[in-house]
């Protein structure tokens, strides 16, 4: 049975002054919008202004330029995050170095739901105008941008947004609350979530559903699961699905059949995730189990930390794990 993936809606516009401007939204995650801009010299001018009708967070990726925000001219460069509340204005004046920047927009109702998980009231929220992002905040900001790309599950997008808001509360919110402790039952709840993920071979569960069933917030479920198992739920589930795919391929199933059985849109969808997690395509993995075939490990392309090469093994480049073909 094939699952119909929910694709993000992307609108791209071009102008003589900019290489491109793209807006992305997910139908299954309303209230959040991603904008990515590649700015060339001359993109910003004295009359170039942006009015925030929502809560906006702008982060230069490779772009560097001058921005007016809260009565000051500032240099926006990679590593900085600019925050704007509804009604505020960001004015661009001059591009110092062409490149890309991205922004996240949350409508008040959606943002209030995420903030409520941190005991914050959106109507009384005070945000710092700009911060130098920590490595954690920067990684989570970019993770949200990535989660609005093609072939990203709802669980992955919810994890990314939840993680970003948690880091933003610590670094951008003025007088933000201390992080709440997890309930005593968090470990057993994480075990229950794990059981659900093992049953979710089609990849349909989302973070909101898991949180509602656990009686916790989305952020609490995310923290509890990662503390217990070392991975967020989406990454864990994807590795479970890839393990099932490996077994099916070893048993002779065709990659297209495996993709359909595990809920991927098509074979290429499976291939992208399989290669990201395991380092090779399903076809290459399947051929490694043909009698007499020389595997990548036997050719010496992967070596363990001590230099040993596993016999008949296929390396997991994404997680540092190794799925060994022989004896399984």
Residue 31 has pLDDT above 80, yes or no: yes
State the pLDDT at residue 96. Answer: 87
| Domain boundary assignment for the chain | 9-171, 186-230, 236-324
Cα–Cα distance, 282 to 24 (Å, whole number):
30
Q: Tell me the CATH architecture of domain 9-171.
A: Sandwich (2.60)
Neighbours of 175 (CB within 10 A): 5
Residue 158 has, within 13 A of its CA and on its CB side, a CA count of 25
Cα–Cα distance, 202 to 303 (Å, whole number):
33
Neighbours of 282 (CB within 10 A): 25
Average pLDDT over residues 130-150: 95
* Of the options 3.20.140, 1.10.10, 2.60.40, 1.10.1060, the CATH number for the domain spanning 236-324: 1.10.10
Average pLDDT over residues 272-300: 74
Cα–Cα distance, 270 to 151 (Å, whole number):
10
Average pLDDT over residues 131-150: 95
Percent of the chain at pLDDT exceeding 70: 79
Task: Report which DSSP code applies to 295.
Answer: P
Q: Are 85 and 108 in contact (CB under 8 A)?
A: no
Cα–Cα distance, 122 to 127 (Å, whole number):
11
Residue 104 has pLDDT above 50, yes or no: yes
Neighbours of 139 (CB within 10 A): 14
Name the residue among 189, 158, 21, 145 with its Cα closest to residue 92: 21
Against a cut of 0.85, is the pTM above it?
Answer: no
List the single range of 19-23, 49-53, 55-59 with lowest mean pLDDT.
Answer: 49-53
């Amino acid at each position: 049975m094939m699952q119909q993936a929910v694709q993000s809606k992307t609108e791209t516009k071009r102008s003589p002054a900019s290489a491109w401007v793209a807006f992305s939204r997910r139908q299954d995650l309303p209230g959040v919008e991603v904008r990515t801009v590649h700015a060339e010299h001359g993109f910003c001018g004295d009359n170039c202004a942006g009015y925030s009708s929502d809560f906006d967070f702008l982060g230069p990726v490779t772009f560097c330029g001058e921005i007016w925000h809260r009565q000051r001219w500032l240099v926006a460069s990679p590593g900085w995050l600019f925050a704007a509340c509804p009604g505020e204005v960001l004015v661009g004046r001059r591009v110092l170095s062409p490149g890309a920047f991205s922004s996240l927009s949350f409508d008040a109702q959606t943002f209030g739901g995420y903030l409520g998980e941190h005991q914050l009231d959106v109507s009384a929220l005070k945000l710092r105008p700009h911060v130098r992002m920590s490595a954690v905040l920067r990684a989570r900001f970019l993770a949200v941008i990535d989660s609005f790309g093609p072939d990203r599950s709802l669980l992955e997008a919810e994890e990314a947004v939840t993680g970003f808001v948690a880091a933003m509360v610590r670094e951008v919110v003025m007088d933000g609350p201390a992080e709440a402790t997890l309930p005593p039952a968090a470990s057993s709840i994480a075990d229950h979530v794990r059981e659900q993920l093992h049953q979710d071979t089609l990849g349909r569960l989302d973070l909101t559903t898991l949180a509602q069933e656990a009686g916790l917030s989305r952020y609490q479920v995310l923290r509890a699961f990662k503390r217990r198992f070392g991975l967020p739920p989406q990454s864990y589930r994807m590795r479970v699905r890839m393990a099932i795919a490996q077994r099916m391929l070893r048993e002779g199933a065709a990659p297209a059949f495996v993709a359909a059985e595990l809920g991927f849109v098509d074979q290429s969808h499976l291939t992208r995730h399989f290669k990201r997690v395991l380092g090779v395509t399903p076809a290459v993995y399947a051929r490694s189990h043909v009698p007499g075939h020389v595997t990548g490990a036997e050719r010496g392309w992967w070596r363990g930390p001590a230099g040993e090469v596993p016999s008949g093994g296929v390396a997991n480049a994404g997680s540092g794990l190794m799925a060994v073909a022989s004896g399984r």
